[in-house]
Amino acid sequence: MTYQVEVFDLDYKGQGITKINDKITFVKNLFEGEVALVTIDKTYKNYQEASVLEYIKRSPNRVSDTYFDYAPLAGLSLASECLWQEKITKETLKKIGNLDVNVSHTITDGIKTHYRNKVTLHVVKKDKLAVGVYKANSRALVHIDTHLLVKPILNETIQKINALFETYTFIDDTLKHMTLRTNGHEVMVILSIRKKAYKEKDMLVMLLKPICDSIYLSLSPNDYEILGDEVLHIYGKKTLPVNFGPLTYDIGPVGFFQVNEPISLKMYEFIKQHITGKNVLDAYAGMATIGQFLGQAFNVVAIESNHDAVIQAKDQINKNQLKNITIIEGDVNIEIKNYIDQMDSIVFDPPRSGLDSDTVELLLAHDIKQIIYVSCDIKTLTRDLKMLSSRYDIISITPFRMFPSTDHVESITLLSLK
């Protein structure tokens, strides 16, 4: 059965919200104000999911009908995406945390596609090996020749890998994932396998050598883990140099580096401009990319638990000739106790899970003049801000369009001691 509907809002996943028979219905690739004929795909107790059969009225903010599970906002203009991110941020803070916060205008660089410097592809074995991306909430593989969001050199590499898999027949199904990284002109490939005895490894490496600059092998204990604890350098360069403002970072197979460099640079400049005082703690530092950027102007202590990231950070600090930054290996909630009373500002860039409870309790027990919280998950950010708001004023939240065309949000929150 088909229904004619009009969308009155977009949810946090970028889905259109409408009603069919008085039940809330979510429709992919249908934006606010648009009218379409839809069919119901799934019905649940409190809501339904539907898909578009035919557009009747398109929004003036629509730029194309393009849709991918990994890019649900591909058809929406970037300006509208920015407004959506501001709205979702403000609404989530209010709904979950009862926080009425000033949300600034979203900062972007005007680029909507082909910005990612990293992508993970999944591999399946049928008649031949095939690479692609998973459908949303599924292990069903969608074979791809191009990816809307990655840099052109990565799309060129994907096409060459597909050509290899069409030309050569691989029998073994040990290979499960391929991660591609680039600095814009060189490509690193990380092959994820579930066992060391990969019979066709040598053949695959030989075939990949002409189309990439670096090859690593990641040994994963199961099919679903992208990067295992053991990562072996197989061929070519060990790292790829990335110019980042006045600094250079060497990117390896496991070190975290933001996938959108221009927006990352805007974020780091924003943090640098808003730091108060001279002594700064960079928590959950990774390779200390934020800490090194701030180390040009401030005295910085960076804390990171991952040993490989700490080794990379120390190497980069030396190469960038930074004298005002120290990297500490250890858990944030433990090591922060040794430095918290010496700091004017703390910059947090935690994983999606946000701050752990011990760290929040520590912040509530000390007089930190300023906290800068970099978040990639608005829900855990809201949880943490609700707890911190008893002692800290939330000055502002600034969204950054780090992941255009997707439903992911990135933001920087400035907090000041009451």
- The rounded mean pLDDT for the chain is 92
Residues 6+ apart with CB under 8 A from 357: none
Band (pLDDT 50/70/90 cuts) for residue 219 is confident
Domain with CATH 2.40.50.1070 in the chain: 118-242
* pTM recorded for the entire structure: 0.92
| CA–CA–CA angle 191, 153, 245 (5° rounding) | 100
Closest CA to 331 of 362, 300, 297: 362
pLDDT score, position 137:
72
pLDDT at residue 175 above 90? Answer: no
pLDDT score, position 303:
96
Domain with CATH 2.40.50.140 in the chain: 2-60
pLDDT score, position 127:
66
In whole angstroms, give the CA distance from residue 199 to residue 184.
32
Residues 6+ apart with CB under 8 A from 59: 31, 32, 33, 34, 76
pLDDT score, position 195:
65
Mean pLDDT, range 173-182, rounded to an integer:
88
Mean pLDDT, range 1-17, rounded to an integer:
96
Map 32-82 to HEC letters: CCCEEEEEEEEECCCCEEEEEEEEEECCCCECCCCCECCECCCCECHHHHH
In whole angstroms, give the CA distance from residue 106 to residue 399.
5
pLDDT score, position 196:
63
Closest CA to 410 of 349, 82, 99, 401: 401
pLDDT score, position 171:
73
| CA–CA–CA angle 54, 59, 65 (5° rounding) | 50
Residues 6+ apart with CB under 8 A from 389: 97, 99
Q: How many other C-beta atoms lie within 10 A of the C-beta of residue 138?
A: 9
Residue range 2-60 forms a domain whose CATH class is mainly beta
Q: Specify the length of the chain in residues.
A: 418
Q: Which amino acid is at 152?
A: P
Closest CA to 397 of 274, 292, 231: 274
Strand order in the sheet with 410-417: 325-329, 299-304, 279-283, 345-348, 370-375, 410-417, 392-400
Would you identify the CATH topology of the domain 82-111+259-417? Rossmann fold (3.40.50)
Domain with CATH 3.40.50.150 in the chain: 82-111+259-417
Residues 6+ apart with CB under 8 A from 11: 17, 26
In whole angstroms, give the CA distance from residue 268 to residue 245.
10
Reported for 242-247, long-range contacts at CB under 8 A and 24+ positions apart, including other chains, are 242/117, 242/183, 242/184, 244/289, 244/293, 245/269, 245/293, 246/296, 247/292, 247/293, 247/296, 247/320
Helices (H), 128-176: 152-167
Mean pLDDT, range 34-47, rounded to an integer:
96
Band (pLDDT 50/70/90 cuts) for residue 129 is confident
pLDDT digits (tens, 9 = 90+) for 381-413: 999 999 999 999 999 999 999 999 999 999 999
Q: Residue 356, exposed/middle/buried by CB under 10 A (0-12, 13-18, 19+)? A: middle
CATH of 118-242 among 3.40.50.1820, 3.40.50.150, 2.40.50.1070, 3.90.1300.10: 2.40.50.1070
pLDDT score, position 165:
87
β-bridge partners, 233: 216
CA distances from residue 32 to 6, 11, 29, 66, 246 in whole angstroms, order as listed: 8, 10, 10, 16, 42
pLDDT digits (tens, 9 = 90+) for 228-287: 678 899 999 999 999 998 999 999 898 778 899 999 999 999 999 999 999 999 999 988
Strand order in the sheet with 175-182: 141-143, 129-134, 118-125, 175-182, 187-193, 214-219, 230-236
pLDDT at residue 131 above 90? Answer: no
pLDDT digits (tens, 9 = 90+) for 192-202: 887 666 677 88
Q: Residue 331, exposed/middle/buried by CB under 10 A (0-12, 13-18, 19+)? A: middle
pLDDT at residue 47 above 90? Answer: yes
pLDDT at residue 213 above 90? Answer: yes
